[in-house]
Amino acid sequence: MRTLNVELAERSYPIHIGAGLLSNPALILPHLKTRRIAVITNDVVGPLYLDAFVAGLEAQGLRVTRIVLPDGEAHKDWQTLNLIFDGLLAERCDRSTTLIALGGGVIGDMVGFAAATYQRGVPFIQVPTTLLSQVDSSVGGKTAINHPLGKNMIGAFYQPKLVLADTTALNTLPDRELKAGLAEVIKYGLIRDLPFLEWIEANVERLLARDPDALAEAVERSCRNKAEVVTADETEQGERATLNLGHTFGHAIETGLGYGEWLHGEAVAAGAVMAADLSRRLGWLTDADVERVVAIHRRAGLPVKGARLGAERYLELMAHDKKVTDGTLRLVLLKAIGHAVITAEARADDIRASIDACC
């Protein structure tokens, strides 16, 4: 097992990464307030992992409430969030109950938001089961649900007490979801870790083949990058926004097509290519740099062209981005491969041109 720490003073917590951790409840016990917990999952992950996971916890003397939500990004909404509250209240879960999110980023984001608000805040633990959630969404305390007008628009910063990433769970992940997770892995290389990007370029086939050592290495190096950024800028006053490379374009695709049509990681991949193209228009990247960004996403089996929504629709959707300040759109672009910045320098004409060139 590999362990990293997210250093946030009294809100610090460990990330455990390794094979078979779901069947090791002893890793969870030290992080519980009381013996009362609620495990929240969905109707895809539940049938695969819930019974064995809960049995292990009950064998430790814990009292467990189970809540199973409908699966999918389309259910990351108020109605489904309310099902969590219904379940917690029906079972009389109190303020010392720890919520455990068992699933991908959708479950993790929703359970985190539920934990932030249920009885004004209860502890929670992330047990991410997708590559995307193991390398990104389970770490850092961003929790949210979607609004029809924008992705992740309703939420809170609320840190978990523990992240438990069992890499064995990735064996049941559909190929398309594995590839979507790779988009966020590649992102760390592009924004701040050139040696990691070079490692991904050398190992992408091993990752696609689910080589356990390669996956564990990718999860650890990704979480290390994420933990460093979150420690430096927990509430996204600056550097943390660079984690959103490709996301402003990507969120426009997700919202524009309807949630769940493209996977989040797929939209981020196409968005990263658009961001690279725009960085070239600002004179920061060379043609060869942009081709490198395209090539690694293509090798990972990810889209390198965006959805054809039309540039004006993209701009309309991007105007809802959380990085808009005083009406000015700020974008995460690349000064160089391995060095992202947040900038308002891109002109609307150039943004339009990049969208047209990359869709």
Q: What totals of helices (H) and strands (E) does the chain contain, helices first?
A: 13, 11
177 is catalytic: no
Q: Shortest approach of ligand NAD to residue 357 CB, angstroms?
A: 26
Which of 116, 173, 183, 276 is the binder for ligand NAD (CB under 6 A)?
173
Counted residue by residue, the chain has a size of: 359
Q: Segment near ligand NAD (CB under 6 A), from 60-68, 130-138, 213-221, 316-324?
A: 130-138
Do 159 and 141 touch, CB atoms closer than 8 A? yes
To the query of whether residue 5 is one of the catalytic residues in this protein, the response is: no
Q: Is 264 a catalytic residue?
A: yes
Contact string (CB under 6 A) for ligand NAD, positions 228-247, x = contact: --------------------
Decide if 35 contacts 17 (C-beta within 8 A).
Answer: no
Strands (E) located in the chain = 2-6, 13-18, 36-42, 63-69, 98-103, 124-128, 142-147, 150-157, 162-166, 331-336, 339-343
Verify whether residue 247 is a known catalytic residue: yes
CA distance 295 to 201: 9
Among 243, 252, 296, 318, binds ligand GLY (CB under 6 A): 243
φ, ψ of residue 187 in degrees (nearest 5) = -55, -45
Decide: is 152 part of the binding site for ligand NAD (CB under 6 A). yes
Write the DSSP assignment of 281-345 as a string of letters.
Answer: HTTSS-HHHHHHHHHHHHHTT---S-----HHHHHHHHTT-TT-BTTB--EEEEEETTEEEEES-
Which range, of 82-90, 95-103, 238-246, 275-283, touches ligand GLY by CB under 6 A?
238-246
* Residue 104 binding: pick among ligand GLY, ligand NAD, none (C-beta 5-8 Å cut-off by kind): ligand NAD
Which position among 251, 280, 281, 330 bears the catalytic label?
251
Positions 133 through 152 that interact with ligand GLY (CB under 6 A): 136, 140, 142
What Rg value do the Cα atoms of the chain yield, rounded? 20
Instruction: Clarify whether 251 is annotated catalytic.
Output: yes
Closer residue to ligand NAD (CB): 134 or 284? 134
Element of type H or E holding 131: helix 131-132
Torsion, CA 62, CA 32, CA 173, CA 243, rounded to 10: 170
Q: What residues form DSSP beta bridges with 128?
A: 103
Binding of ligand GLY by 244 (CB under 6 A) = yes
Which residues are known catalytic residues? 120, 142, 184, 226, 236, 240, 244, 247, 251, 264
Which residues bind to ligand NAD, rule: CB under 6 A?
42, 44-45, 48, 71-73, 76, 103-107, 109, 129-130, 132-133, 136-137, 140, 142, 151-152, 169, 172-173, 177, 180, 264-265
Which residues bind to ligand GLY, rule: CB under 6 A?
136, 140, 142, 240, 243-244
